[in-house]
Amino acid sequence: MRILLVGAGGVGDAIAKIAARRDFFELMVVSDYDLSRAEKTIAWIEAKHGAQNGRFVASKIDASDPDSVAAVAREHGATHVMNAVEPKFVPTIFTGALAADANYLDMAMSLSEPHPENPYSETGVKLGDDQFEQAPDWERAGKLALVGMGVEPGLSDVFARYAVDELFSEVDELGTRDGANLVVRDEAGNEIFAPSFSIWTTIEECLNPPVIWEKDKGWFTTPPFSEPEIFVFPEGIGPVECVNVEHEEVLLMPRWLNAKRVTFKYGLGDEFIGVLKTLHMLGMDSVAPLRVRSANGPVEVAPRDVVAAALPDPARIGPQMTGKTCAGMWVTGKGLDGQPREVYLYHVSDNEWTMAEYEAQCVVWQTALNPVIALELLANGTWTGTGVLGPEAFPAVPYLELMRTPESEGGYGQAWGMEDRLA
């Protein structure tokens, strides 16, 4: 396997660092529009693990240009293109990978467009629609596009497949629930507002109309931050208020899994919700460029890009962060014995540990872990397929076994948990 990794930001950097401990691939090309970022990642790997004998190389790439993606992929004979940049670049990387006759993976899917007349009740263009429309092209080429293979979506979808196959005879709801107790402080010890993931992506997810799926209604939308609930997260995180947020799981799971309802709720907190509402009120969530006067004359900038530039870089806040983040799947229905059952399957990432082991903050590290596991399963032939497929299209047990098996025994050493929540 020869991998072209597109993007050496927080998640891309962590993907390369995690992969450096594995031997399932021949080459990983770490590419970025800023070549120095890719070189920095490789330098860290070589300082930590010694000379790699050419297994990691750096390359400059323009993720907005499918021809650039295809050219870099061809130059290095890439068999798999791993997309680790903002979802706005999905169309170009997706196109470039297929043009280079390579397989493709991403962690976030092509963007949605709200319904023009009824955005809070009807779907418009849904997350991933553009990619699924191109599935016949991938099938004819005999190539796989594994979409939504991060942590959420990604691991959450694997948990859902596991629950449907192994734990339940009938599923009422597949509910992704994400929460954390993370705190970021400045040098004086004061808590500051610093999102742990890309604010560009966070704005997109949180201010778009959330999507819900129900068996008798199909996909429909609600207003942002709807249906608040208190969900108790494990391993000391505790109760967190969660609200509906637009997310890929709801668009993926119904395509392969039998459930009556599919939801995604995220623990944002009052402060975060307040900031997002203010950004929306001021129009700072817009991606449409505005003409702005500058010392060098008029320039055009997107308000959302200004917000992203003004906030701390999520890839750099790890040393200032404490706490844990939890990604998981809450499932209700009937167990294999026909009796009511409620289960929460989850994985917790501790910032202190990820910083000590990888110099990566826990949210980006947890996201990065899962595509590396998926790539290994594809490399060894455990997961196979063609077309555009989500994580739930593949058997979950081999993935979860590889994930929790100790590193000394060939696994990734990442325990995942399961709580039965009915007395």
Q: Which residue has the higher pLDDT, 376 or 285?
A: 376
Q: What is the structure's pLDDT at 197?
A: 66
Distance CA 12, CA 14 (A): 5
Q: What is the structure's pLDDT at 145?
A: 98
pLDDT at residue 243 is higher than 70: yes
pLDDT digits (tens, 9 = 90+) for 158-169: 999 999 999 999
pLDDT at residue 81 is higher than 80: yes
368-30-2 Cα angle (round to 5): 90
Distance CA 30, CA 20 (A): 12
DSSP bridge pairs for 80: 3, 103
- Least confident range from 8-12, 47-51, 179-183, 201-205: namely 201-205
Q: What is the structure's pLDDT at 286?
A: 84
pLDDT at residue 200 is higher than 80: no
pLDDT at residue 5 is higher than 80: yes
Instruction: From residue 314, give the alpha-carbon distance in Å to each of 193, 202, 360, 377.
Output: 11, 12, 10, 29
Do 386 and 203 touch, CB atoms closer than 8 A?
A: no
Q: What is the structure's pLDDT at 412?
A: 98
Compute the average pLDDT of residues 132-150: 98
Mean pLDDT of the chain, nearest integer = 93
pLDDT digits (tens, 9 = 90+) for 360-371: 999 999 999 999
Q: Rounded to 5 degrees, what are φ and ψ at 417?
A: -115, 165
pLDDT at residue 195 is higher than 80: no
Compute the average pLDDT of residues 40-54: 94
How sure is the predictor about 205, in pLDDT bands with cuts at 50, 70 and 90? confident
- Least confident range from 39-53, 171-185, 265-279, 402-416: namely 265-279
Q: Which residue has the higher pLDDT, 128 or 188?
A: 128
Q: Are strands 56-60 and 27-32 parallel, antiparallel or unpaired?
A: parallel
Distance CA 197, CA 314 (A): 5
Select from 265, 263, 266, 267 the least CA-distant residue to 172: 263
pLDDT at residue 89 is higher than 80: yes
Helices (H), 100-192: 129-133, 135-141, 155-162
- Contacting residues for 179 by C-beta, under 8 A, at least 6 apart: 231, 233, 237, 240, 242, 266, 267, 325, 326
Which span out of 47-51, 84-88, 342-346 was modeled with the highest average pLDDT?
342-346
Name all domains of the chain by residue range, CATH numbers in brackets. 2-150+366-412 (3.40.50.720), 155-362 (3.30.360.10)
pLDDT digits (tens, 9 = 90+) for 282-306: 888 888 888 888 778 888 888 888 8
Q: Rounded to 5 degrees, what are φ and ψ at 22?
A: -110, 160
Residue type present at position 71: A
Q: Which residue has the higher pLDDT, 147 or 283?
A: 147
Looking at the chain, the whole-number percentage of residues with pLDDT higher than 90 is: 78
pLDDT at residue 281 is higher than 80: yes
Q: What is the structure's pLDDT at 141?
A: 98
How sure is the predictor about 173, in pLDDT bands with cuts at 50, 70 and 90? very high
pLDDT digits (tens, 9 = 90+) for 299-357: 888 888 888 888 777 767 767 788 999 999 999 999 999 999 999 999 999 999 999 99
Quote the distance between the C-alpha of residue 414 and its chain's center: 18
How sure is the predictor about 423, in pLDDT bands with cuts at 50, 70 and 90? low
Q: Which residue has the higher pLDDT, 370 or 202?
A: 370
